[in-house]
Structure 1
Amino acid sequence: MVQYHIQNLLSLLQAYVKPNNPNHDVLEAEYVAWIDESSFLSDAHKKAWKRAELPLLMSRVFPESDQAHLRVSLEYMMLFLMLEQLTDTPATAAEAQRWADIFVQAFKQTLGEAKGPASVMKHLASRVMGAVDETYRPYLIASNVLLAEGVVKEALDRENPTHDLTLEAYMGARRDSIGLRPFLDFGRWIWDLDIPQDVLAHPAIAKLEEETIDMVSLTNDLYSYRKECFESGAHHNYVTVAMQDPIAAIPAADRQAAIDYTCKQFSETLADFHRRTAELPSFGADADKKIAQYVSVMMDLVVGNIQWSLACRRYGHSDASGVWGDVVFEMDPM
């Protein structure tokens, strides 16, 4: 076995670390009860759902949300996990497309009579869309259409694997499939940040959103890498692609160098995010205040995802000794 090290990325974000949402325990109890009562989940799936610890994820990424908004966000995350499980390995591209279509129809509330997982999707989507204010619904639908397209593309890539995938192409696809865009929408909804559409579409704001998604993607790929290797070879993972793309200049099969490179990309993206935030143009006093809160939401998403990745049982880093955030794990050599 070989030891690999992920540097302490939380140490770069200490100014943004917040206490866990105090509503976590209530949502955790509701979540576990829902899983135990769900007849459509197998025992293996129930175990996987509990290990995912979705209430912890929501409590970390929205640390200052009230309980009602947090519960809706959790219901959405449950819906997203269903989509992920139904479209991931061993699902074919055709199966992934079918479930992606059902997922989108559920959000657009055009899904007809449904049974099994589809009926659960329909129910959860109806609850989410019924709770979210009308102002934010079009954004949420558009974000989930992109998510559905992203997971189908991943399924197609699994069926037609390529070894010349570039980091640029990978990140372009990952921005949709990671599913973070809906949480940007939820963040604006939670804080009632009715930012004008032309301001949201401004290149400066769009770039901050993109870099937020990239930072979450990079950290998710780092912390999930071992799990993905064991389950499916981690072909759709930044660490793997970095070992294949000549631009990264990684020595052949050097996992640690690829991990270090991924950490470096995160650090550089964070630095650029800070620079761009400092250079934001003014959109008027009211919009500027909302944008400042939106930037705070973005950082909560980045920090919260890291905290959850370190603490949840899903990725197996929760029992790590030493400084929280400093990860060492073992794998067979390549």
Structure 2
Amino acid sequence: MTTDASEVTTEPPFYMLPDTLRNWPYERIISPYYRAAQAESVAWLESFKPFTPAGQKAFNKCDFSLVSALTFPKATHYNLRSCCDLMHTFFTLDEHTDILDTEGTRFHCEATMDAILHPDKPRPEGEPIIGEIARQFWKRASAYAPQATKERFVKAWRSYLDSVILQAQRRDKSRYICTIEEYMVARRDNIGSDPSFAFLEMSLEVDIPHHIMEHPFIVELARDTTDMIVLANDMCSYKKEILVDDADYNAVTVVMKNNNTDVTGGIQWISDTHDDIVEHFLKVRDDVLNKHGFPSYGEDMDRQIEAYVHGLGQWIRGHDEWNFGSGRYFGDEGLEIQKTRKVIIA
């Protein structure tokens, strides 16, 4: 018996997402202020009309307030609103610069930097609207922040902007593929985690001096957190990016090209690397909390450090939940994909 070729069905390509947090000790927590802060922040952003009506609708579907509610679950209403504004500023800048060349990207980025440095200065005529968005966001958010936290944010924002400009430069080079190390170095800034960690401090209402935040153990924990965010984000965003032929700047593609492997091989390499980072993070976390090679700074400061360390752990869980719970990468299929781990590229 022969089979008519028209009756043969071929399953579309797919990849399986590893359960990278199967041994992660932090559970999903969401802020009770989520809906209220979301409504306020979305209304604030929409007042600038940064997108077309259809573009704004698509932007809102990604629910960038949800990532704040999941990663800053202990924030007060005021601070959570500021965290939502941060995410909206991040992703508005991202959407606006994704289609620009290097000079256009630089112009937008420098507008935000000047606004962060001078939040009381009126923005000049003709400047991209992202300048005023950044000014208002930071003026409100920084009003009650400790000085050290504000200084860390400003420094981190500069590094973040430099990485956005670098990404545009590589985009201009026409399908430039980094080495894995080049990619991770740039992406650690580009993912925006360091500015977000300053907001983690604000959400926890801690005031930790620079010399403690610069301790090698704390630096390692922040680096591990960032790398886990990058790797998890890129595995989830790969489908969205490959479908629009924009996946060159993605860890899956970078690993595939450098290791001469396919999507499955790239995902497996990332999964194995993520497992190693999880193990390292939890070991260093325990060393900090149990004072193994890490000093005590007094009861009150130790409590603040502990809150921050646990905050980093919660951030990882929250970010993972947002990858599936928002419409950013998987549309309405996110929660089902979170269960099945199967991502169909179609």
Under a length normalisation based on structure 1, what TM-score does the superposition of the two structures give?
0.90
1:130 and 1:31 mapped to 2: Cα distance? 17
Quick check: 2:148–2:208 contact (8 Å CA) kept in 1? no
Most deviating of 270-279 and 166-175: 270-279
Most deviating of 62-71 and 282-291: 282-291
Cα RMSD for the two superposed structures: 2.1
Do residues 109 (structure 1) and 118 (structure 2) align?
A: yes
In the TM superposition, 1:40-189 aligns within 5 A as 40-88=50-98, 90-109=99-118, 112-115=122-125, 117=129, 118-161=131-174, 165-189=178-202
Do residues 307 (structure 1) and 317 (structure 2) align?
A: no
Under a length normalisation based on structure 2, what TM-score does the superposition of the two structures give?
0.87
Gaps of 5+ in 1: none
- CA distance 1:191–1:28, change in 2 (3 Å): closer
1:47 and 1:39 mapped to 2: Cα distance? 12
- CA distance 1:191–1:84, change in 2 (3 Å): same
1:321 and 1:199 mapped to 2: Cα distance? 39
The residue identity in structure 2 corresponding to 1:274 is L
- CA distance 1:113–1:3, change in 2 (3 Å): closer
Find the partner of 1:7 among 6, 18, 25: 18
Displacement of 1:65: 1.6
- CA distance 1:7–1:325, change in 2 (3 Å): farther
- CA distance 1:100–1:177, change in 2 (3 Å): same
Displacement of 1:321: 6.5
- CA distance 1:322–1:73, change in 2 (3 Å): closer
Quick check: 2:18–2:271 contact (8 Å CA) kept in 1? yes
| Residue aligning to 1:269 | 277
2:50 and 2:187 mapped to 1: Cα distance? 29
Find the partner of 1:288 among 298, 302, 324: 302
Quick check: 2:45–2:88 contact (8 Å CA) kept in 1? no
- CA distance 1:109–1:168, change in 2 (3 Å): same
In the TM superposition, 1:241-260 aligns within 5 A as 241-246=254-259, 250-251=260-261, 254-260=262-268
The residue identity in structure 1 corresponding to 2:167 is E
1:39 and 1:290 mapped to 2: Cα distance? 39
Displacement of 1:171: 0.4
Most deviating of 67-76 and 158-167: 158-167
Most deviating of 146-155 and 312-321: 312-321
Q: Secondary structure at the match of 2:105?
A: helix
- CA distance 1:20–1:162, change in 2 (3 Å): same
Quick check: 2:327–2:334 contact (8 Å CA) kept in 1? no
Most deviating of 40-49 and 218-227: 40-49
Q: Number of aligned residue pairs: give it.
A: 325
Q: Secondary structure at the match of 1:45?
A: helix
1:166 and 1:325 mapped to 2: Cα distance? 32
Q: Deviations over 1:73-93 (max 9, x none)?
A: 1112111112111221x2000
The residue identity in structure 2 corresponding to 1:179 is G
The residue identity in structure 2 corresponding to 1:184 is F
Q: Secondary structure at the match of 1:12?
A: coil
| Residue aligning to 1:27 | 37
Q: Secondary structure at the match of 1:277?
A: helix
Find the partner of 2:27 among 17, 30, 33: 17
Q: Deviations over 1:240-284 (max 9, x none)?
A: 0000113xxx53xx1122112212211111111112223342322
Q: Deviations over 1:220-258 (max 9, x none)?
A: 111111111123421111000000113xxx53xx11221
Larger Rg: 2
Q: Deviations over 1:90-142 (max 9, x none)?
A: 20000111111111111111665335513333222322233433342111111
Most deviating of 72-81 and 93-102: 72-81
1:102 and 1:240 mapped to 2: Cα distance? 32
2:104 and 2:285 mapped to 1: Cα distance? 41
